[in-house]
Amino acid sequence: MSKSVKRVARALRDAGLPDTIAEPGESRTAELAARACGCEIDQIVKSIIFAGEQTGAIRLFLAAGGNRICADKASALAGEALGRADADMVRATTGFAIGGVSPVGHLTPSPTWMDPRLLDFPLVWAAAGTPRHVFSIDPRALVALARATVAEFTE
């Protein structure tokens, strides 16, 4: 098991949640993950990392798989204009490579917002540290575990 997957498993365990990590196959995109998990695309949690254009601070947005993030809404929540974080910045801050960024188990916690669409489901699936690993979780438990603020930031 990779160090990244172990960090996610530890975060779940430390929160008193079951370790539901699975390796269903290629899950680098929301479409592939939904197919691999046998669920609706909006049950896939996309972990999107942005960087503040003024401060460089990392911000995490957890979006339903079929939704697109609205840059203006996300920037308003963050309090500054946001741009995409590059792969090196994502790995240095989260400890995960793009395509496998989990919403939990980051090396450095970041302000986090969650798409309310995810709360429409009893279970959602998120990356578990690699592009091939996912975990399932009640989205309400994910809000608490990720210390996320539920807010509208999609188009």
Query: Where do the structural domains in the chain lie, given as residue ranges?
Result: 3-20+43-150
Predicted local confidence at residue 43, as pLDDT: 98
Per-residue pLDDT of the chain (155 residues; tens, 9 = 90+): 789 999 999 999 999 999 999 999 888 789 989 999 999 999 999 999 999 999 999 999 999 999 999 999 999 999 999 998 999 999 999 999 988 999 999 999 999 999 999 999 999 999 999 989 999 999 999 999 999 999 999 99
- Residue 26: what pLDDT? 80
H helix or E strand, kind and range, residue 50: strand 44-52
User: Which residue in this structure is represented by tokens 């975060």?
Assistant: 11
pLDDT tens, residue by residue, 9-31:
999 999 999 999 999 988 878 99
- Would you state the pLDDT for residue 108? 93
Asked if residue 8 lies in contact with residue 100, where contact means CB atoms within 8 angstroms, the answer is: no
Give the model's pLDDT for residue 110: 94
d(CA 124, CA 103): 12
In the block, residue with structure tokens 């916690």: 109
Tokens of 142: 């994910």
**pLDDT score at 98:** 87
Q: Specify the pTM.
A: 0.95
pLDDT in tens, 113-134: 999 999 999 999 999 999 899 9
What does the pLDDT read at residue 25? 81
**Any idea which architecture 3-20+43-150 has in CATH?**
Alpha-Beta Complex (3.90)
